[in-house]
Amino acid sequence: MLFFGALIGLFSASLAFGSPVELEERAVNANYLFTAFTSASESNLYVYTSSDATAFSLLKGPAYTPSSGLIRDPSVILHTDGKYYIAYTTDWTGTNFAIATSSDAQTWSLHATISTASSTITPVNTWAPEFFKDTKTGKLNIVVSLSTGSYGPFLPYVFTASDSTLKNWSGPVVMSGISNAGLGYIDTFPVLLGNTYHIFTKAETNGQKHIEHATASSLTGPYTFQQTGDFAGWGQAEGPSVTQLSNGSYRIYMDGYSSGKYTYSDSADLYTWSAPQTVPNLSGTVRHGTVLKQ
C-alpha cells in the first residue's frame, strides 16, 4: 500500500524523522481527519472526522483562531511525535505561512511562522502551504504557491524540513516545468505513486481555473502536464486534496468556490476519475481543506 503526502503522517523507522506512531496512539479515533476553514470565516479552523471518507461529522469548530490574520488552506499531518500539525495561509499578502500544532486535533497553538522570502524570490503572495511526506526520499516537505506580482503569476515552491521540530525549513526551490504564463498555477497537491510524482494544481489564468494533472520523476520536476483543462469534468475548482481509501483507490476533494459545492471524485490510477459528487452536509460550508487518512 502506498503512503504519501499530507495524508498519512506515519513515518517508517528508517526515516530521518524518527520511529513510527502506533495506530493506537492516535488522538482521534476515526479513519479520516478533515481540516478546513469555512465560508463563514477565513480566520477559524474547523476539524471534522469520518469513518468512510464520505460522511463527515464536526469534531470541533472553531478549533483554532490565530491572534491575527487568516487560517486559510489548512493542511494537516500526524507527525512522529504523536501530534497533529497544520500548515496554513496567514494573509492575502505577505512573506510567510504558519504552522500550528495539537495533541488531540481539538486544541491548537501556534508552532512556527516560516518565512518564504529568499535570495531568489520575495513573494507578494504566500498561499496554500501543503504538507508532503516523500516516502521516496524520506523527507518532509511543504509545497507553497508563491507570487511576485500583486496577484500572479503563481508557481509552486518546495520547502524541506531541516529537522523533526518542524520549525526549521530549507528552500524555497521552484517546481520546474510548470508555466507561469497568465496567472500561473496555485494550490498544488503532490502524490507519489510508485516512482512517479503526480501533482494536481489549479490553472489560475482567467477563463480556465481548472485543476490539471502533471507528472515528474522528482518532486521539484521538471513536470510534464498529462491532463489539462476540464479533463475530468470537475468544472471550476481549487484546493485539491488527494487521499487513498481503504480499498486502495484514490479520492480527490475539491473546493468548487464559484458553485458553492465541495466535491469529491475517485480513481484507481490517478488518470481516470469518477463523476464528481458533493460531500454530504458539508458542501457549501467547508472551504479548501485537507483530508488525512489515519
State pLDDT tens for residues 190-215: 999 999 999 999 999 888 899 999 99
Task: Report which residue type is found at 175.
Answer: M
pLDDT of res. 181: 87
Beta strands across the sheet bearing 277-278: 238-244, 250-256, 261-267, 277-278
DSSP E strand boundaries for 103-195: 109-115, 125-134, 139-147, 154-161, 169-174, 185-193
User: What CATH number has the domain spanning 5-293?
Assistant: 2.115.10.20
Low-confidence ranges of the chain (pLDDT < 50): 1-24
pTM score of the predicted model = 0.90
Residues with Cβ within 8 Å of 174's Cβ and at least 6 positions away in sequence, in order, are 155, 156, 157, 158, 220
- SS3 of 23, please? helix
CA 206 to chain centre: 23
229-238 pLDDT, tens digit per residue, is 999 999 999 9
Question: Residue 241 pairs with which residues in a beta bridge?
Answer: 253
DSSP for 185-204 reads: EEEEEEEEETTEEEEEEEE-
Report the DSSP beta bridge partners of residue 256.
261
For residue 21, the model assigns a pLDDT of 36
- Can you give the pLDDT at residue 26? 64
The pLDDT of residue 30: 83
